[in-house]
Amino acid sequence: MNLARYRFVLIRPLQLLPVLLGISIITFVLVRSIPGDPARVLLGARSTPDAIQKIRAQFGLDEPIWVQYLYFLKNLLNGDLGKSLLYKIDALPLIASRIEPTLMLVLGSVLLALLIAVPLAILAARHKGGWTDNLIRLFTTAGLGLPSFWLGLMLILLFSVHWGLLPVSGYGRTWADKLQHLVLPCLTIALALSAVLVRNLRASLLLEMQADHVTAARARGLGEGALLRRHILPNAIVPTINLLAVNIGWLISGTVVIESLFSLPGIGQLLVRGIFTRDYMVVQGVAMVLACATVAVNFIADVLTTALDPRVKIQ
Amino acid sequence: MSTPLLQVRELSVIARNDRREVTLVERLSFDLGQGEILGLVGESGSGKTLACRALMRLLPSPNLRIEGKSVHLAGHDLLQLDEAGMRRLRGRELGMIFQNPSSHLDPLMRIGEQIAEGIRLHQGASRREARAEAIDVLRQVGIPDPKSRVDNYPHEFSGGMRQRAMIAVALGCNPKVLIADEPTTALDVTVQAQILRLLLELRDRRGLSMILISHDLGVVAQTCDSIAVMYAGRLCEHGGKHELLAHPRHPYSAGLLACHPAQQPQARLMNSIAGQPPLLDALPSGCRFEPRCAQALPLCREQLPELHESGPGHRLACHTPLLAGGPS
């Protein structure tokens, strides 16, 4: 094995630093330019000019913005994202406690999407132009066109309300319970995600089926099943993996709707509530976590592509 | 002479679009003996590649159809076999190598694994046996250091080595007949000679029969025992190499030979045959070469000449053949 091709594994994490610095500046400024004062939101009806002033001083909000940012950076180096204004606890453990549901949601959706997409794409490519292909095209068009909140509601209606098979919303305590709660939200995302994947994978399967090396393999007597497994699918899946990585990046920050719909206590919900209550520290922290996750997903995709395609050499 | 290894009788390939049918290869018949190398020569589009794809029953489009009397190989009639039966013969009886080795090797699979694939499929060998055999085959095709090269990927090979690797992949299945579709066209001249020498060596060592498709008469002259010339989907002359090269009887064969640069070392301009080959959907009713033929008679325009035995081991389809003594 040519280990030199994996050298980027050591260098890539360093590239995360400038990305995080940029993200932190942008969110820091943006979140503070939303109209509304966190102290006023926090105090609500009890707000007096005195109390507001006290809160602002307590959280350092009365300083100029660049001083606040330097404090933020200094605390960040100590692994401290600041205190949540709303929950009155450190933002870091707060965010950490919310990561699991979101992570499970994303992982489950991606797994489910692959389980749906790969067989469908193979079926569609094999019966190109036939009624199976048309039926699958109908599915992908629907999956791309239907808004996820509507699809989620319909699934709840069908599986939870009508048939009573699965819980309506929330997140359980035991693993079995949690998995039950994850089925519908994962399915909602997976239906849309698999539609994107089916289209892409079907196209690259059709391209590979015509490839010269497949003809050559057929000329040495391989059957259609072996051709698909050994030559067509491995070649066709590489571009789909990169598409999947882009979509996961988008998915991580896009789980907000699904988490709200299914009342999953994940990062997306935390972010939305943080924005509404002007909880600066939480919003900044979540943005940093999401940035890290997106970079990590692309990193994993690069490692996978390098492992699958011996010609790939990432600088 | 014993019965030939491969017997092709009246093999046709027909293309159909919405309304019309066009015959791309018409009633091709020939024999291939054990250890014989047959050169299939003709211009682009004359149907040589398609004819060989038809032998493998691997046509490049579902709009193409095979017709014919019979194709006998190893006790089977390939035209009567079902797809599963045909699949068992592909590779094992009838191997094929292609013009462009870079695109005909799977870029994601190690060379050794691609060779082992056929070995395991046809000989039921274990993974370990197949690997040992793959190394052996790589050595036979002249890859240096085959023990380490077996684990390389195609992109780590040079063009000539890729062609050797592709030959090794075909040889791994241990075929009786090897179809080589322009195996040297994509290679530079020095490598070309090496690959041709390798093919000859394999014939001598393994008794391998070959059909060598080429438009390069130089390649054919160096390698083949017999030559079949195709024009516009039909065989027009078929005979022993020496006789056909020295005394071509069909005006088209003679024309092809005259076009070869080596024939006219001092000529300023390259020779060419005037005119274009006919379109296959608008064929002349007589001889297909008649519009370009200097020897044409009125008969040639009216009647399509059939391929017939014109001498011992020589077949010809022409009303006005050149004299056996040489071009008139």
Residues of A in contact with B170 (CB under 8 A): 219-220
CA dist., res. A243 & res. B139, Å (int):
41
Residue A101 predicted with pLDDT over 70: yes
Considering only CB atoms, B96 lies closest to which of A219, A230, A234, namely A219
B89: closest chain A residue by CA: A221
A211 contacts in B (CB within 8 Å)? 103
pLDDT of residue A233: 96
pLDDT band at A53 (very low <50, low <70, confident <90, very high): confident
CB distance B208 to B37 below 8 Å = no
In chain A, what residues touch B98 (CB-CB under 8 Å)?
212, 215-216
Say whether pLDDT at A315 is over 80. no
pTM, to two decimals: 0.86
**Pairing status of strand B314-316 against strand B64-67:** unpaired
What's the confidence (pLDDT) of residue A20?
86
pLDDT tens digits for A57-97?
Answer: 888 888 888 998 998 888 888 888 888 888 888 889 999 99
The dihedrals phi and psi of B141, each to the nearest 5 degrees, come to -90, 10
CB within 8 Å: A310 and B104: no
Average pLDDT value for residue range A277-281: 87
Asked if pLDDT for residue A106 goes beyond 80, the answer is: yes
Task: Walk me through the domains of chain A, giving residue ranges and CATH numbers.
Answer: 27-80 (no CATH), 94-308 (1.10.3720.10)
**Cβ–Cβ contacts within 10 Å for residue A138, how many?**
10
CA distances (Å), A89 to each of A52, A82, A86, B185, in order?
Answer: 19, 9, 8, 74
Query: Which residue is closest to B104 within chain A, CA to CA?
Result: A213
Run means of pLDDT, 10 residues per run, chain B, 328 residues: 85 90 92 94 90 93 92 92 93 92 95 95 92 94 94 94 94 94 87 91 92 90 93 93 91 88 68 84 87 88 90 90 62
Between CA A256 and CA A265 the distance in angstroms is: 10
CB-based contact A219 B58, cutoff 8 Å: yes
What pLDDT was estimated at residue B2? Answer: 64
Question: Cα(first)–Cα(last) distance of chain A, in Å?
Answer: 18
User: Which among B60, B108, B118 has the least Cβ separation from residue A234?
Assistant: B108
By the CB < 8 Å criterion, does B65 face chain A? no
Residue type, B193: A
From residue B59, give the alpha-carbon distance in Å to each of A112, A166, A292, B29, B105.
Answer: 38, 52, 51, 18, 19
What percent of chain A lies above the pLDDT cut of 70? 100
From the list B2, B60, B54, B61, the residue with the least C-alpha distance to B29 is B54
Out of A217, A221, A234, closest to residue B92 by CB: A221
pLDDT at B328: 41
Helix (H), strand (E), coil (C) string for chain B: CCCCCEEEEEEEEEEECCCCEEEEEEEEEEEECCCCEEEEECCCCCCHHHHHHHHHCCCCCCCEEEECCEEEECCEECCCCCHHHHHHHECCCEEEECCCCCCCCCCCCCHHHHHHHHHHHHHCCCHHHHHHHHHHHHHHCCCCCHHHHCCCCHHHCCHHHHHHHHHHHHHHCCCCEEEEECCCCCCCHHHHHHHHHHHHHHHHHHCCEEEEEECCHHHHHHHCCEEEEEECCEEEEEEEHHHHHHCCCCHHHHHHHHHCHHHCCCCCCCCCCCCCCCCCCCCCCCCCCHHHCCCCCHHHHHCCCCCEEEECCEEECCCCCCCCCCCC
Best interface-test mutation with B: which of A127, A206, A213, A311 has the largest number of B CBs within 10 A? Answer: A213
Average pLDDT for residues A254-264, to the nearest whole number? 89
Judged by a CB distance cut-off of 8 A, whether residue B117 touches chain A is: yes
The whole-angstrom separation of Cα A29 and Cα A145 is: 35
What b/e string do you get for B24-61 counting C-beta neighbours within 10 Å, with b at 16 or more? bbbbbbbbbbeebbbbbbbbeebbbbbbbbbbbbbbee
Give the pLDDT of residue A266: 92
Residue B327 is predicted with a pLDDT of 44
Axis-axis angle for helices A65-77, A8-32 (nearest 10): 140
Per-residue pLDDT tens digits for A213-227: 999 999 999 999 999
* Mean pLDDT, rounded, of chain A: 90
What number of C-beta contacts closer than 8 Å exist between A and B? 77
Q: Which residues of A37-57 are buried (b: 16+ CB within 10 A; e: fewer)?
A: ebbeebeeeeeeeeebeebbe
Taking an 8 Å cut-off on Cβ atoms, the answer to whether A215 and B173 are in contact is no
Calculate mean pLDDT across residues A170-188. 92
Which of B108, B122, B211 is most worth mutating to test chain A (most A CB atoms within 10 A of its CB)? Answer: B108
Residue of A nearest to B155 (CA): A311
